Amino acid sequence: MELNWTTFALEIINFLALLWILKRFLYRPVLQTLAERRAGIERTLAEARASEAQAAAMQQQFAGRLADWEQEKAKARQDFAAELASERTRQMAALATELASERERSAAQDAHRQATQRRELAAQASTEARQFASKLLARLAGPELEERLVQLFSEELAALPEEHLGAVRAGQNGDGRGMVSSAFALSAGQRQQLSDAIETRLGKTLVLDFVVDPSLLAGARLTLGAWQLDFSLAGELGVFSEAANRG
């Protein structure tokens, strides 16, 4: 245990040298690295805080915008509901109008259909009546009825109004020849009777051809060119059927 002053002094120098060495090669680099890392962490933290603040601001902004959107949505919904109600009212009115129109059209169609049906029924009834009358009159037709109808033909000719005979008298119908059709063959007396009645009424002599036409059923028909005077059962049935069709 003795103190060597040389060692004492050199150890002081050695320690100071070590102090410089460690400060230069150990503490300074390590502390610098730590400071850089701390600065980096602080920088990252600052950026994180800035990002957080920005996120909070954006969140607030988005919350405000969301609230605005909610208000706009509610207003749009109200407008839409009002518009929907208005459109519904308008559509209902249009539908009611259309329904009324359709109803009127349907009523008109019903009326037309009913009229048509009535006409068809009337025509059918007329046809059936004419067929019935034809069958009945065909069964009733005979020389007696023929005689009677020829008699009536003469009377009708005598009672025919003058205006109907004007054209015939003027020579516009017929060229002096006529044709008398009858369902049954006429006797000579009947032929003479008809010839006399025609000549008396028309005031001129005609050459008459007498032909038998069973389709007349009974009675006679005088044809002078385009002019015709029918007094037969078939002709009356035709008039009857035409009148029924006219309704």
Partner 1 sequence: MEAAGVVFTLGWLQITTTVVTTWGLLLVFGIGSWLATRHLSVDQPGLVQTALEGAVQSIAAAIDGVLPGRSELLLPFIGTLWLFVAVANLTGLVPELHSPTADLSTTAALAFVVFLSVHWYGIRSAGLKDYLQHYLTPSPILLPFHLLGELSRTLALAMRLFGNIMSLEMAALLVLLVAGLLVPVPVLMLHIVEALVQAYIFGMLALIYIAGGMQSHEASASPEAPQTNDKKGSAP
Which stretches of the chain bind partner 1, using CB under 8 A?
1-12, 14-19, 21-23, 25-27, 29-34, 36-37, 40
Q: Which is nearer to partner 1, 41 or 239 (CB)?
A: 41
Shortest CB 50 distance to partner 1, Å: 21
Q: Which is nearer to partner 1, 28 or 65 (CB)?
A: 28
- Shortest gap between Cβ of 39 and partner 1 (angstroms)? 9
With a CB cutoff of 8 Å and minimum separation 6, the contacts of 153 are 194, 197, 219, 220, 222, 229, 231
Q: Which is nearer to partner 1, 12 or 111 (CB)?
A: 12
Is 229 strand, coil or helix?
A: strand
Contact call for residues 92 and 213 (beta carbons, < 8 A): no
CB of 23 to partner 1, least distance (A): 4
The CA-atom distances, in angstroms, between 100 and each of 92, 110, 188, 201 are 12, 15, 73, 64
* Residue 16 CB, nearest approach to partner 1 (Å): 8
Nearer to partner 1 by Cβ, of 15 and 132: the residue is 15
Identify residue 123 by its one-letter amino acid code: A
Q: Residue 5 burial by CB count (10 A; 0-12/13-18/19+): exposed, middle or buried?
A: exposed
Virtual CA dihedral for 200, 206, 212, 214, nearest 10 degrees? -60
Cβ proximity to partner 1: between 28 and 113 the closer is: 28
We find the least distance from the C-beta atom of residue 41 to partner 1, in angstroms, to be: 10
134 burial (CB, 10 Å; 0-12 / 13-18 / 19+) is: middle
Q: Which is nearer to partner 1, 32 or 114 (CB)?
A: 32
Shortest separation between residue 13's beta carbon and partner 1, angstroms = 9
- Compute the least distance from the CB of residue 65 to partner 1, in Å: 39
Compare residues 6 and 215 and give the one whose CB is closer to partner 1: 6
Task: Report which DSSP code applies to 1.
Answer: -
Contacts 24+ apart (CB under 8 A), 49-53: none
Q: Cα–chain-centroid distance for residue 151? A: 62
